[in-house]
Amino acid sequence: MTDLLSNLFFIFQRLTWLSVMDILLVTLIFFGLLYLLRDTQAMVLLRGVIVLYVFTALLTSLLNLPAFSFLVTSALPALLFSIPVIFAPEIRRALERIGRAGTLLPARPHTPQEEMLQTIQAIVSASARLSARQHGALIILQRRDDLREFVRTGVTLNSHVTPELLLQVFYPNTPLHDGAVIIDGSHLLAASCVMPLSSSGILAHSPDRQMGLRHRAALGTSEVSDAIALVVSEETGGISIAHSGRMIRRLDVERLENVLKAFYVSEAREGKKNFLQQLFPRLFPGKEG
């Protein structure tokens, strides 16, 4: 006990403010990595790697196993090189989020607030009618991130957003009803667009796992961009919204309108979000949550 106390005293005696900053930076990096991997399949894999590493470390330290120790030492560099390949989607998502947070100016001019409110009213009206008829729909509302690569996968319309147009696009068995429509401000850019499916494990560990491709595409779009994805279920008529890798389900018309206004109207008033709010939107939800 005396040796332990003397060792601790020796450590604290040598501790400086630079050492504390060094420890805090390393802690922040590990926290950021674990946070970004949360709710993903990579988290399960990482947990397995940690358990395996602890087990092998204990085994090699307690027992004299030279051949096994050599094998572990030889395999470790290969494992380190494989990490970027295994965690490629999570690394890309993290870098994209950091890039969005570091943007100082909007990439595109803001839509006037009155015009945006009219667009929201049109989307809400169309969603209510689609929900009542149980016609499936996927509506992507572009924000700062450019969705041009997904617009190219669909049919260009470049028209003004109206409830009638959205109802016609998502009418069953019509040429454009499959896929998503992408809206930028008050303009419907394209329909029948192919959106990325979710790569997270959220749907596999919640009641949302019963959702179809529209919901997975909505969640996937929210994971790779700051867009808002609105889904109307073909099975139940339920309305959902996905943003920042999270999904809000079972929205009624009034709540849907309030959520959309919270995204756009409050954003126009408050301007750009701060760096931490964009980097960790679930920790700093602001008025969007």
Rounded (10°) CA dihedral 218, 224, 225, 228: 10
HSE-up of residue 30 (Cα within 13 Å, Cβ side): 7
What is the distance between the terminal CA atoms of the chain, rounded to a whole angstrom? 51
> Higher confidence at residue 12 or residue 246?
246
- Residue-wise pLDDT for 99-125, tens only, equals 655 444 444 556 677 888 899 999 999
The confidence score (pLDDT) of residue 288 equals 41
Q: How confident is the model at residue 70 (pLDDT cuts 50, 70, 90)?
A: confident
Tell me if 142 sits within 8 A of 110, measured CB to CB.
Answer: no
Domain with CATH 3.40.1700.10 in the chain: 113-270
**pLDDT at residue 147 tops 70:** yes
| Alpha carbon distance 238, 249 (integer Å) | 7
**pLDDT at residue 168 tops 90:** yes
Q: Which of 4, 8, 189 shows the shortest CA–CA distance to 108?
A: 189
What sections of the chain are H helices per DSSP?
A: 2-14, 17-37, 41-62, 66-86, 88-101, 113-133, 148-151, 163-169, 213-224, 253-270, 275-279
- Residue-wise pLDDT for 170-222, tens only, equals 999 898 988 999 999 889 999 999 998 886 666 555 555 556 889 999 998 98
| Alpha carbon distance 223, 226 (integer Å) | 8
The confidence score (pLDDT) of residue 90 equals 62
Tell me if 247 sits within 8 A of 39, measured CB to CB.
Answer: no
The confidence score (pLDDT) of residue 44 equals 63
| Alpha carbon distance 242, 227 (integer Å) | 9
- Span 113-270: which CATH code? 3.40.1700.10
The confidence score (pLDDT) of residue 105 equals 42
The confidence score (pLDDT) of residue 106 equals 44
As a whole number, the mean pLDDT across the chain is: 78
DSSP three-state, residue 5: helix
The confidence score (pLDDT) of residue 276 equals 44
**pLDDT at residue 54 tops 60:** yes
Spell out the residues 6+ positions from residue 41 whose beta carbon is closer than 8 angstroms to its own. 199, 200, 201, 204
| Alpha carbon distance 72, 81 (integer Å) | 15
